[in-house]
Chain A
Amino acid sequence: MAQEFFIQGNEACAKGAITAGCRFFAGYPITPSTEVAETLARELPKVGGSFVQMEDEIASAGAIIGGSWGGTKSMTATSGPGISLMQENIGYAFISETPMVIVDVQRGSPSTAQPTMTAQGDMMQARWGSHGDYEPIALAPSSVQEFFDFTIKAFNLAEEFRCPVFVMADEVVGHMREKITVEDDIEIVPRKRPEKSDKYLPFKNVENGTNPMPSFGDGFNIHVTGLTHDERGYPDTNNPETHDKLVQRICDKILNNRDKICSVQSENCEDADIIILSYGSPVRSVVEAVNRARDEGKKVGYIKLDTPWPFPEEQVVQLSSNASDVIVVEMNLGQMYYEVDRVLKRSANVHLMGKIGGAMPTPDEILDQINRIGGN
């Protein structure tokens, strides 16, 4: 029977992780993500899992890479200062194609700025934070239910595409309490493991881009490295073709599956002159503002990005095809805005409503913006 709980977003994230099969968490507590670690410290041992509080976030990211190669679904949770420290190992996870989940409950930034206040300043860190070419997947929850659902989805995508996946939450979604419903039949994607065979290559240039993955100790003679490697995993750093094939495959396995990965939610876009685009907790104010604008007879709709990365280009273009203006509401001074502007600038005026300071935008503030642009 489906179960209901009235819990915090961070607790729902931890519950989602356990439901998805996560049995290893390594992290360093940081506001406003601490309750994720706190809950897993309590709950993981009860299901045979392990929790380790590391010395810092660099080590935390390293530990979950190891946990994943040990055969265990693994996760860490942090906030801006921690995500900065993790970037080196996140790059290692991308090139070594290590499935894992990184939860970022965003707070005021840069640096340690505002621990208890909400923000969305890390969106480009999820995209470009580590050096080099790679294509990240990132999900942005707007409710406690979505923080639960998206954490499970993150684990599923990580296993399906053998890559790190970000859950980009924010303080509001992390700390607020709401009802969640946990259904009985939740789809969980297990790790694809290789058949015992002499011919197995862990980094093969397969057509769909994603190879099955063994664990250390399974008996496969494989090598895992951050250096450019051949299909066996052995370093081959001076051969342009090896590097090109490897990095291209790592990017293509995500880009070629955008139709499976990308997700948006939208309402009232068909006849809308003005579209509000947002993600994470500000979506809640956007929905209220759009409903009120519609009540006043204004042709306004909204697009919610479930997956900021990979950016759902086709969906955003298609849903905005009749709009003259698109307002991007986010809690930073312009990050996803540039992505929206990139794909829409030939067809619509793209405006930024960026709010920092730690208080989420209110429906009134968004309505003001709609009126300023001339919604009628």
Chain B
Amino acid sequence: MRTEIRICGFGGQGVILAGIILGKAASLFDEKEAVQTQSYGPEARGGASKCEVVISDSKVDYPKVQSPDILVAMSNEALIKYIVDLKDNGTLIVDPGTTDVEDVREFIDEHNIKVHEAPATKTATDEIGLKIVANIVMVGAITKITKVISKDAAIKAIEDSVPKGTEEKNIKAFEAGFNLVE
């Protein structure tokens, strides 16, 4: 089965790293196939940033996301811009602290979208004391909600991806995100 995931937000929020962790977890630690791509543009900080991951049980040929099964939005601008591509019955995960799902309510209802709220930024700030780990909190929530990667694989991928010395804080952020949602 091919699962297409798009994670979007502001440049600087770490949505690219979140996608790399998903791809790495799937392909190195879950024995699946994965390809990660991202938007390149002048949006280094502040503008819209987009990261895409395709995860599959078999070889991934076409590497890009066409209509995501899962959309993760960490900014309202990105939510409004990218919601239109989401598949019918698709999964939407938003950070309620940085987005307003009411702005896309019509699309959600029309296309029977399953909406999950994961307050990643607030959790990162309140529980970890570091706003910049919001992306890792979000990886925890994605893992729990979608089961597209296993928890073990996610933790190994985080350890393998974050700067040395920050592993503990990042794993804590992941756990907080994992426990945020049912």
What residues make up the interface of A, taking CB atoms closer than 8 Å to B? 4-6, 31-32, 116, 172, 175-179, 281, 284-285, 287-288, 291, 360, 362-363
Contact = CB atoms under 8 A, between A and B. Distances in A.
27 contacts: A6-B20, A6-B28, A6-B34, A6-B36, A175-B38, A175-B40, A176-B36, A176-B37, A177-B23, A177-B36, A177-B37, A178-B34, A178-B35, A178-B36, A178-B60, A179-B33, A281-B63, A284-B61, A284-B62, A285-B61, A287-B61, A288-B62, A291-B61, A360-B64, A362-B64, A362-B66, A363-B62
Nearest to B64: A360
B121 interface: no
A147 to B, nearest CB: 13
A375 to B, nearest CB: 18
Contacts of B38: 175
Contacts of B40: 31-32, 116, 175
Contacts of B23: 6, 177-178
Interface in B124-153: none
B180 to A, nearest CB: 26
B70 to A, nearest CB: 18
B50 interface: no
A281 B64 CA distance: 11
Nearest to A179: B27
B41 interface: yes
B20 A285 contact: no
B103 to A, nearest CB: 28
Given A4-B28, A6-B23, A177-B36, 8 more contacts: A5-B28, A6-B27, A176-B63, A179-B28, A284-B61, A362-B62, A362-B66, A363-B61
B24 interface: yes
User: Sorted from nearest, which 4 A-B pairs have the closest CB atoms?
Assistant: A116-B40, A288-B61, A6-B24, A179-B27
A176 B34 CA distance: 10
A103 B175 CA distance: 42
Interface in B38-53: 38, 40-41
Contacts of B20: 6, 177
Contacts of B62: 284-285, 288, 362-363
B107 to A, nearest CB: 23
Q: Say what secondary structure dominates the interface of chain A.
A: mixed
Q: Which of the four size classes fits the interface of chain B?
A: 10 to 19
A374 B91 CA distance: 38
Given A284-B61, A288-B61, A363-B62, A175 B37 contact: yes
| A4, A172, A178: residue with the most chain B Cβ atoms closer than 10 Å | A178
A125 B23 CA distance: 35
| B24, B34, B63: residue with the most chain A Cβ atoms closer than 10 Å | B63
Contacts of A6: 20, 23-24, 27-28, 34, 36
A287 B60 CA distance: 10
A91 to B, nearest CB: 32
Given A6-B20, A6-B24, A177 B61 contact: no
B41 A116 contact: yes
Nearest to B160: A6
A176 B33 CA distance: 13
B41 A177 contact: no
B41 to A, nearest CB: 6
A5 B28 CA distance: 7
A362 B61 CA distance: 10
A360 B64 CA distance: 9
Interface in B69-92: none
B181 to A, nearest CB: 26
B99 to A, nearest CB: 26
A288 B59 CA distance: 10
A177 B34 CA distance: 8
A77 to B, nearest CB: 17
Contacts of B61: 284-285, 287-288, 291, 363
A176 B60 CA distance: 12
Nearest to B16: A177
B47 to A, nearest CB: 13
A177 B41 CA distance: 17
B6 to A, nearest CB: 15
Interface string B3-30: 0000000000000000010011001100
A359 to B, nearest CB: 8
A287 B61 CA distance: 7
Nearest to A180: B27
A6 B34 CA distance: 9
A96 B140 CA distance: 57
Contacts of B60: 178
B27 A284 contact: no
B63 A172 contact: yes
